[in-house]
Structure 1
Amino acid sequence: MTPRLAWVLGDPAGIGPELVAKSLVNTDMGAVCRPVVVGPMWLLKRGMQTANVAAAATRCAADKLAEVPTGAVPVVDAGWPEQDFPCGTLSAAAGKLTIEMLRVAVDMARAKQVDGIIFGPLNKEALSKGGNPHKDELHLLAEWLGDTEVGEINAAAGLVTTRVTSHIPLKDVAANIRPDRIMLAIRMLHTTLRETGAQNGKIAVAALNPHAGEHGLCGTEEIEIIEPAVARAQAEGLPAAGPFPADTIFLRARKGEFQGIVIMYHDQGQIATKLLGFDQGVTILGGLSVVTTTPAHGTAFDIAGKGVANPGAFQEAVRLAGRMAAARTSGKRS
């Protein structure tokens, strides 16, 4: 059965409502999932006005989705009062509303009312001002779901990456390269590749230091930490190899040698990934018990409200979530 997916509108001052509106009228999306918009009806209507589109949408309760007429998109609106969110303006109120929309979507997923979640772009500073006690939305959702081993995964242009360290200062990276973190990244990436239907499940692990440390001449993390972790992964039957120099690892992957890459720190992989496919880039919230994806780009405050936002990454996030949700459902049945 086609999975039912929650589409969360995202930060109300950003491009999220516009992306959702444009995607609702894309006929290709109907073959991927049965969308359920989560957020205020008035905010969805603003998104439609910005996008200059019209979609049949009906407000309904989360437990009444089956009663929505054919051809209409259900909108789960928790009764949020209408507010004025100037486009492109960061605010605590926008962050608070975003958190509330996410919570409704997560509760629906836990109740098995939806099979996965796609959310429009969020703003981490707004979330923090709005009450998020964590550094990002991933760990907020992980707390709600009771998941502990989580990490961010990125997909673009047929390549999937994850990282051992993420949003920490560069000066702290080396101290946080640990065997357990490398193993977690490899396992999550392997699971994600299977769930997204990747044909070549080979995983390359990047080195930390230039030229993979040059046998200890330029750092010892490869010898002491990364190589033993890769060997452990191979002993578990995981298709991992490395460590490989970071300046050539993406070239090899682009030629088809690998379909997944474990990187050591944020910019080591994000620069290459966004160059490969910024308008199609997707972030997967790895390790969550509920399939959750989002566009890899941000709220684009500079173009919010102008009707020019590209919905490509949001729609690719829907496609990936649809495949992953279908794979998990199939796995439970088998």
Structure 2
Amino acid sequence: MSNALKPLAITMGDPSGIGPEIIVESLCKQLYGAKNIVFGCPKVIERAVSQSKRNLAVRVLDWIDDANFSPDVIEVIPTSFFTSLPSFGTVDAGCGKAAYDAIVQSIKHAVDGKVSGIVTAPIHKEALSAAGVPYPGHTEILADLGGAERVAMLLGNDEIRTVLVTVHCSLFEAIQRADYDAQMAAIRLAHEGARALGISQPRIAVAGLNPHAGEGGLFGREEIEIISPAIKAAQKEGIDVSGPWPGDTVFMQARRGQFDIVVAQYHDQGLIPVKYMGLEKGVNITLGLPFVRTSPDHGTAFDIAGQGIADSASFETAIRYANQLLKSKMKDVA
């Protein structure tokens, strides 16, 4: 069976958050002909189905090969079992452990070729920490357990896209991590990621680290000594990349069509412009993995969890992008 015909793994996310309900809402809209399997606690998914008032059944699988993708059925690979369901909107070590276990099992299935990719529901970093999980977030878990040497986070919507040089760390640490190798990795992965999204000759802009991209060294020399040399080296590899551009205007230029994707130096520099345009529009893609992984670009939303008002649009977009990336991957293989 070709990888494209294998199902997507959908991880449950934190059971106290909106993950299970946006999974149910998303899957009920595309069950016919769709091949998705949820990894998580069956009771948690059953509660989400019950609260959704959708006419759906939950079927527990012993093995992924037992899936039959019947209409109006959500199939679940059990990766955790709650004897009593957790409360909504609370930081809980048990929920952090359950969310982590779902991710670990989905990665194992992806590495073994049993699923074509992974779409992850939101997790809570404090809950992960409370559970003793030694990772700050999805990206680091996926990189380590997925066997990738270098990964990068691509966040985007239909208007702008960004790839991050550094991800979940303090701003002080981000400055230290944004070295020449990190710049080169981000530029190369941005190029590959944009091509996978159907942009044949992507135009990449690299944002500066300092105000005004350093202003010729007046506000810092990272642009002169690190970022510019990496851009020149990438240009020699045939990548259409330019910069460093001032971080306060480069996204506006990208939105106007001057660039296809922006390489941002640190987390908030890249994510604020994307999220400002609406959480319901964005998707998070992990580049550099040997399998496809996407997620919505929002968190667990503890404040509205369990109320039936969570918007599933970003999760639906994540599923759509995962399928688009898989089709692109299969074309490259062919």
Same-fold call, TM cutoff 0.5:
yes
Aligned partners of 1:204 and 1:241 also within 8 Å: yes
- Equivalent pair of 1:62/1:108 in contact (CA under 8 Å): no
Question: How does 1:24-103 map onto structure 2 within 5 Å?
Answer: 24-27=27-30, 33-67=34-68, 69=70, 72-78=73-79, 80-103=81-104
Range with bigger deviation, 138-147 or 88-97:
138-147
Pair 1:105 & 2:93 matched:
no
1:199 shift after superposition: 5.7
After TM superposition, the structure 1 = structure 2 runs for residues 111-190 of structure 1, keeping only pairs within 5 Å, are: 111-190=112-191
Give the count of matched residue pairs. 331
What residue in structure 2 maps to residue 17 of structure 1?
A: 20
Q: Which has the larger displacement, 288-297 or 156-165?
A: 156-165
Using the TM superposition, give the Cα deviation of residue 143 of structure 1 relative to its aligned residue in structure 2, in angstroms: 2.0
Structure 2 CA distance for aligned equivalents of residues 270 and 122 of structure 1 = 17
Is contact 1:156–1:274 with CA below 8 Å preserved after alignment? no
> Match of 2:99, as an amino acid?
T
**8 A contact 1:59–1:76 mirrored in 2:** yes
Secondary structure, aligned partner of 2:83: coil
Q: Is the 8 A contact 1:52 1:307 kept in 2?
A: no
- Offset at residue 272 of structure 1 (A): 0.9
Taking the aligned partners of 2:13 and 2:219, their CA distance within structure 1 comes to: 44
1:283 and 1:295 in contact (8 A); partners too = yes
Alpha-carbon contact 2:18-2:306 (below 8 Å) kept: yes
Decide whether aligned partners of structure 1 residues 10 and 100 sit closer, same or farther in structure 2, where only a CA change above 3 A counts.
same
Q: Who is 1:297 aligned against?
A: 298
For residue 193 of structure 1, what is the aligned residue in structure 2?
194
| Distance change >3 Å, CA 36–CA 246, structure 1 → 2 | same
1:116 Cα offset (Å): 0.4
Between 1:206-215 and 1:192-201, the stretch displaced more is: 192-201
Look up the match of 1:231. 232
Amino acid at match of 2:36: P
Query: Which amino acid letter does the alignment assign opposite residue 5 of structure 1?
Result: L
Query: After TM superposition, what 4+ stretches of structure 1 lie above 4 angstroms from structure 2?
Result: 66-71
Cα distance in 1 for partners of 2:168, 2:95 equals: 22
Counterpart CA distance in 1 for 2:122 and 2:315 is 9
More moved, 198-207 vs 67-76: 67-76
Aligned residue for 1:300, secondary structure, equals coil
Shift of 1:260: 0.6
Measured against aligned partners, the alpha-carbon deviations of 1:129-159 in whole angstroms (never above 9, x if no partner) come to 2231122222222222222212222122332
Distance 1:199 1:288 in 2: 20
Q: 1:79: Cα distance to partner?
A: 6.3
Residue type of the alignment partner of 2:225: E
**Aligned equivalents of 1:121 and 1:58: distance in 2?**
23
Partner-residue secondary structure (3-state), 2:277: helix
Answer yes or no: is the 8 Å Cα contact 1:234–1:240 preserved in 2.
yes
TM-aligned CA deviation for residue 274 of structure 1: 0.7
Q: Please tell me the root mean square deviation across aligned C-alpha atoms, in Å.
A: 2.0
Shift of 1:327: 1.9
CA gap 1:30/1:232 in 2 versus in 1, 3 angstroms: farther
Query: Deviation per CA, 1:244-273, whole angstroms, max 9, x where unpaired?
Result: 111110111001111110011121121111
Query: Which shifted more, 310-319 or 171-180?
Result: 171-180
Q: CA–CA distance in 1 between the matches of 2:170 and 2:303? A: 26
Distance apart, 1:78 and its partner CA: 4.2
Residues 1:6 and 2:9 are matched in the alignment:
yes
TM-score (norm 1): 0.92
Q: CA deviation at 1:110?
A: 2.1
Q: TM-score, normalised by structure 2?
A: 0.92
Compare 318-327 and 78-87 and name the one that shifted more: 78-87
Residue by residue over 1:155-177, the C-alpha shift from the partner in whole angstroms, topping out at 9 and shown as x without a partner, is 22332211222222223343332
Question: Percent of counterpart pairs with the same letter?
Answer: 36
Indicate how the Cα distance of structure 1 residues 106 and 174 shifts in structure 2: closer, same or farther if over 3 A, else same: closer
Q: SS of 1:246's equivalent?
A: coil
